[in-house]
Amino acid sequence: MHIKYEIKEEDYIQFNLFHVKHSPTIKRNVFIQRYIISLIFLIIPFIFYLFDDPSWKFSIPVFFGIYLFWVFYYPKKFIKNMKKNIEKMMKEGRNDYLLGPCELWITEEGIHKKGTSGETKTKWETVEKIARDKEHLYIYIGSLAAYIIPLRAFVEESEKEMFVNIIQKYISTFNK
Protein backbone atom coordinates (compact mmCIF):
# COMPACT_ATOMS: atom_id res chain seq x y z
CA MET A 1 0.00 0.00 0.00
CA HIS A 2 1.23 3.50 -0.82
CA ILE A 3 0.14 6.91 0.47
CA LYS A 4 1.29 10.49 -0.04
CA TYR A 5 0.92 13.21 2.55
CA GLU A 6 2.56 16.27 4.05
CA ILE A 7 3.81 16.67 7.60
CA LYS A 8 3.25 20.16 8.96
CA GLU A 9 4.67 21.66 12.14
CA GLU A 10 1.28 21.25 13.84
CA ASP A 11 1.34 17.49 13.04
CA TYR A 12 4.69 17.13 14.76
CA ILE A 13 3.50 19.14 17.77
CA GLN A 14 0.36 17.01 18.01
CA PHE A 15 2.46 13.83 17.99
CA ASN A 16 4.52 15.10 20.90
CA LEU A 17 1.41 16.11 22.83
CA PHE A 18 -0.16 12.71 22.11
CA HIS A 19 2.96 11.02 23.41
CA VAL A 20 3.02 13.21 26.53
CA LYS A 21 -0.62 12.38 27.28
CA HIS A 22 -0.04 8.61 26.90
CA SER A 23 3.45 8.13 28.34
CA PRO A 24 3.35 6.17 31.64
CA THR A 25 6.37 8.09 32.93
CA ILE A 26 4.84 11.49 32.24
CA LYS A 27 1.44 10.39 33.56
CA ARG A 28 3.11 9.36 36.83
CA ASN A 29 4.97 12.69 37.09
CA VAL A 30 1.81 14.68 36.38
CA PHE A 31 -0.04 12.63 39.02
CA ILE A 32 2.63 13.45 41.60
CA GLN A 33 2.67 17.13 40.68
CA ARG A 34 -1.12 17.30 40.53
CA TYR A 35 -2.08 15.47 43.70
CA ILE A 36 0.88 14.74 45.95
CA ILE A 37 2.73 18.05 45.81
CA SER A 38 -0.52 20.00 45.98
CA LEU A 39 -1.30 18.36 49.32
CA ILE A 40 0.87 21.13 50.75
CA PHE A 41 -2.15 23.41 50.27
CA LEU A 42 -4.15 21.17 52.61
CA ILE A 43 -1.38 20.93 55.20
CA ILE A 44 -0.73 24.68 55.57
CA PRO A 45 -3.93 25.42 57.56
CA PHE A 46 -2.99 22.72 60.08
CA ILE A 47 0.46 24.25 60.46
CA PHE A 48 -1.30 27.53 61.30
CA TYR A 49 -3.40 25.61 63.83
CA LEU A 50 -0.30 24.06 65.45
CA PHE A 51 1.24 27.50 65.92
CA ASP A 52 -2.01 28.77 67.37
CA ASP A 53 -2.45 31.27 64.55
CA PRO A 54 -6.00 32.65 64.69
CA SER A 55 -6.26 32.68 60.90
CA TRP A 56 -6.25 28.89 60.66
CA LYS A 57 -10.07 28.72 60.45
CA PHE A 58 -10.13 31.25 57.64
CA SER A 59 -7.24 29.54 55.83
CA ILE A 60 -8.93 26.12 55.58
CA PRO A 61 -11.47 27.08 52.87
CA VAL A 62 -8.94 29.32 51.12
CA PHE A 63 -6.26 26.63 50.87
CA PHE A 64 -8.81 23.93 50.10
CA GLY A 65 -10.03 26.12 47.23
CA ILE A 66 -6.47 26.56 46.03
CA TYR A 67 -5.98 22.80 46.22
CA LEU A 68 -9.11 22.10 44.14
CA PHE A 69 -8.17 24.79 41.63
CA TRP A 70 -4.71 23.24 41.26
CA VAL A 71 -6.02 19.68 40.86
CA PHE A 72 -8.42 20.70 38.09
CA TYR A 73 -6.30 23.37 36.43
CA TYR A 74 -2.85 21.76 36.46
CA PRO A 75 -3.34 19.20 33.62
CA LYS A 76 -4.52 21.93 31.23
CA LYS A 77 -1.66 24.20 32.25
CA PHE A 78 0.83 21.35 31.86
CA ILE A 79 -0.32 20.56 28.30
CA LYS A 80 -0.38 24.27 27.38
CA ASN A 81 3.20 24.69 28.66
CA MET A 82 4.32 21.51 26.90
CA LYS A 83 2.90 22.75 23.59
CA LYS A 84 4.60 26.11 24.06
CA ASN A 85 7.94 24.41 24.79
CA ILE A 86 7.65 22.12 21.77
CA GLU A 87 6.93 25.12 19.56
CA LYS A 88 10.00 26.90 20.96
CA MET A 89 12.19 23.84 20.39
CA MET A 90 10.96 23.59 16.81
CA LYS A 91 12.27 27.12 16.23
CA GLU A 92 15.71 26.39 17.75
CA GLY A 93 17.13 24.78 14.65
CA ARG A 94 16.45 23.39 11.24
CA ASN A 95 13.71 20.80 11.25
CA ASP A 96 13.21 20.47 7.53
CA TYR A 97 13.84 16.75 7.75
CA LEU A 98 10.79 16.35 10.01
CA LEU A 99 8.40 18.36 7.86
CA GLY A 100 7.26 18.44 4.27
CA PRO A 101 5.88 16.08 1.65
CA CYS A 102 6.23 12.33 2.27
CA GLU A 103 5.49 9.08 0.58
CA LEU A 104 5.02 5.92 2.59
CA TRP A 105 4.91 2.34 1.38
CA ILE A 106 3.73 -0.61 3.43
CA THR A 107 5.29 -3.85 2.21
CA GLU A 108 5.81 -7.35 3.56
CA GLU A 109 9.35 -6.37 4.57
CA GLY A 110 8.36 -3.23 6.47
CA ILE A 111 7.75 0.47 6.08
CA HIS A 112 9.54 2.55 3.47
CA LYS A 113 9.28 6.33 3.78
CA LYS A 114 10.58 8.87 1.33
CA GLY A 115 10.66 12.53 2.36
CA THR A 116 12.51 15.76 1.69
CA SER A 117 15.54 14.64 3.70
CA GLY A 118 15.89 11.17 2.24
CA GLU A 119 14.56 7.68 2.67
CA THR A 120 14.11 5.39 5.63
CA LYS A 121 13.24 1.74 5.85
CA THR A 122 11.92 0.06 8.97
CA LYS A 123 11.50 -3.68 9.34
CA TRP A 124 8.31 -4.93 10.97
CA GLU A 125 10.28 -6.40 13.86
CA THR A 126 11.15 -2.83 14.87
CA VAL A 127 7.57 -1.54 14.84
CA GLU A 128 6.15 -1.47 18.36
CA LYS A 129 2.54 -0.40 17.88
CA ILE A 130 0.09 1.76 16.01
CA ALA A 131 -1.88 4.45 17.82
CA ARG A 132 -4.30 7.12 16.73
CA ASP A 133 -5.97 10.28 17.81
CA LYS A 134 -8.65 12.36 16.08
CA GLU A 135 -6.36 13.61 13.32
CA HIS A 136 -3.36 11.25 13.08
CA LEU A 137 -2.04 7.72 13.01
CA TYR A 138 1.26 7.07 14.77
CA ILE A 139 3.32 4.02 13.91
CA TYR A 140 5.73 3.73 16.83
CA ILE A 141 9.22 2.48 16.02
CA GLY A 142 10.58 3.34 19.46
CA SER A 143 9.41 4.80 22.71
CA LEU A 144 9.91 8.35 21.38
CA ALA A 145 9.80 7.90 17.61
CA ALA A 146 6.95 7.25 15.24
CA TYR A 147 5.86 7.69 11.68
CA ILE A 148 3.27 10.47 11.82
CA ILE A 149 0.48 10.04 9.31
CA PRO A 150 -2.22 12.71 9.17
CA LEU A 151 -5.66 11.23 8.55
CA ARG A 152 -6.14 13.86 5.82
CA ALA A 153 -3.85 11.63 3.72
CA PHE A 154 -6.74 9.20 3.26
CA VAL A 155 -9.48 10.09 0.82
CA GLU A 156 -11.96 7.58 2.22
CA GLU A 157 -12.56 6.04 5.63
CA SER A 158 -12.31 2.55 4.12
CA GLU A 159 -8.81 3.34 2.83
CA LYS A 160 -7.71 4.39 6.32
CA GLU A 161 -9.22 1.27 7.92
CA MET A 162 -7.53 -0.98 5.36
CA PHE A 163 -4.21 0.77 6.03
CA VAL A 164 -4.57 0.29 9.80
CA ASN A 165 -5.61 -3.36 9.41
CA ILE A 166 -2.61 -4.14 7.22
CA ILE A 167 -0.21 -2.57 9.70
CA GLN A 168 -1.82 -4.36 12.65
CA LYS A 169 -1.56 -7.65 10.76
CA TYR A 170 2.16 -7.15 10.14
CA ILE A 171 2.81 -6.00 13.71
CA SER A 172 1.07 -9.05 15.16
CA THR A 173 2.82 -11.37 12.71
CA PHE A 174 6.36 -10.08 13.30
CA ASN A 175 6.17 -9.10 16.97
CA LYS A 176 5.08 -12.33 18.63
Whether 138 shows a pLDDT value over 90: the answer reads yes
Whether 93 shows a pLDDT value over 90: the answer reads no
Tell me the pLDDT tens digit for each residue of 15-64: 988 988 888 898 898 888 888 888 887 787 777 777 776 776 777 888 88
Whether 161 shows a pLDDT value over 80: the answer reads yes
Contacts of 131 (CB under 8 A, 6+ apart): 18, 22, 137, 138, 140, 146
Tell me how crowded residue 15 is: count the other CB atoms within 10 A of its CB: 22
Q: Where are the domains of the chain?
A: 2-7+98-174, 13-91
- What is the rounded average pLDDT for all residues in the chain? 86
CATH of domain 2-7+98-174: 2.30.29.30
For residues 111-126, give the mean pLDDT: 89
Whether 149 shows a pLDDT value over 90: the answer reads yes
Whether 94 shows a pLDDT value over 80: the answer reads no
For residues 2-14, give the mean pLDDT: 90
